[in-house]
Amino acid sequence: MPPGLIGRRGGTRLRLNDDKAVALLNITGARGATINGLTLHGDNLGSGVHGIYMGANPERREEDAPRIERCHISHFSGDGIHLDPVWCFSVRSCEVIFNKRHGLWMVGWDGFVLDNWFSGNGGAGYAATKANASMTLTGNRIEWNRGGGIMIEGGSHYNITGNYIDRAGGPGITLRGVEGRPCLCMTATGNVIYRSGKPDWTSDEAFSAHALLEKCHGVVFSGNSMCVGRDDSGGLTSPQYGIIIKELKNSIVKGNTLHIGAITELVRDLGGHGEGVVVAENVGSLYSDIDKSIWESGQR
């Protein structure tokens, strides 16, 4: 973790002082709210207290449209940002770090998550595990999150492009269908995914991978670059697998590079696919195939 992420913050600083609160900032019902340039600090108080929270609003008749920009959000016992639900929103150029749950957890639609840091959180950097659709995730640095990098379950219509995902405690990208809802109509392209599946954070080695694609329909996973690695100070190298695929339909996993991409297998195919599945030209090498002394000299 870069030293600069733990220093003092400028601008207006708000600190949580109530361990029974839902959140430090509750924007439920605040249509079109803009939160810009604040430092929000949770002091690790309570259990499940969020930094910024939006909850259900029975009176809602139109888009919520909150904008969260240039904020530092850290040390909350819940999620850094918790939106449940939200309709039309953006999170831009924020630093969401060291929260006990996820960096950003959301239920909702029509969002932009651009140019943020999601670092050192106890869950995933970005997580959407209930209803979620029509999202753009671009240019984020998502690193050292214990629960994984990007975790999407049962979502649809995503553009996941140009993110840097480093040292996740599970897959760097998880796209998984759940409860009869496949992951539908998504593209994940141009991402760098590095040293996923940190061994002491990954509870199940079977999911030690850069990417897990399960029950995905109409998904393109292409043009991504993946490489094994270890902690900055050394230790165990991971992940075991490059890409794990299962029960895909009308999907393409093609043209990815996995140079020194995995310990055991570059593409682990668990089968169960429907029609129209292309898995091809995912080129690379295993960690066992390279000169480890040269590799180790180039590690951070």
Q: Where are the domains of the chain?
A: 10-106, 123-300
pLDDT attached to residue 138? 98
At 288, is the secondary structure helix, strand, or coil?
Answer: helix
Q: Is 19 left (phi over 0), alpha (psi -120 to 50) or beta?
A: alpha
pLDDT attached to residue 299? 72
Q: How far apart, in whole angstroms, are the C-alpha atoms of residue 279 and residue 281?
A: 7
pLDDT attached to residue 7? 52
Is the separation of the CB atoms in 163 and 135 below 8 Å? no
Amino acid at site 7? G
Q: Is 6 left (phi over 0), alpha (psi -120 to 50) or beta?
A: alpha
Label the pairing between strands 192-194 and 225-227.
parallel
Is the separation of the CB atoms in 90 and 112 below 8 Å? yes
Q: Which long-range contacts (CB under 8 A, 24 or more apart) does 277-281 make?
A: 277/248, 277/249, 277/250, 277/251, 277/252, 277/253, 278/251, 278/252, 278/253, 278/254, 279/245, 279/253, 279/254, 280/253, 280/254, 280/255, 281/254, 281/255
Q: Is the dihedral of CA 282, 160, 207, 273 positive or negative?
A: negative
pLDDT attached to residue 272? 98
Amino acid at site 172? G
pLDDT attached to residue 188? 98
In 3D space, the residue among 263, 239, 93 whose CA is nearest the CA of residue 166 turns out to be 239
Q: Is the dihedral of CA 104, 46, 202, 117 positive or negative?
A: positive
Amino acid at site 135? M
At 86, is the secondary structure helix, strand, or coil?
Answer: strand
Token pair recorded at residue 125: 């950097």
- pTM, rounded to two decimals: 0.94
pLDDT attached to residue 294? 64
- Which alpha helices (H) appear in 191-279, and where do they start and end? none
Q: How far apart, in whole angstroms, are the C-alpha atoms of residue 125 and residue 230?
A: 19
Label the pairing between strands 229-231 and 265-269.
unpaired
Q: Flag residues of the chain having pLDDT under 70.
A: 1-10, 291-295, 297-298, 300
pLDDT attached to residue 44? 98
Q: How far apart, in whole angstroms, are the C-alpha atoms of residue 164 and residue 190?
A: 9
Q: How far apart, in whole angstroms, are the C-alpha atoms of residue 248 and residue 266?
A: 17
pLDDT attached to residue 117? 98
pLDDT attached to residue 204? 85
Q: How far apart, in whole angstroms, are the C-alpha atoms of residue 18 and residue 215?
A: 42
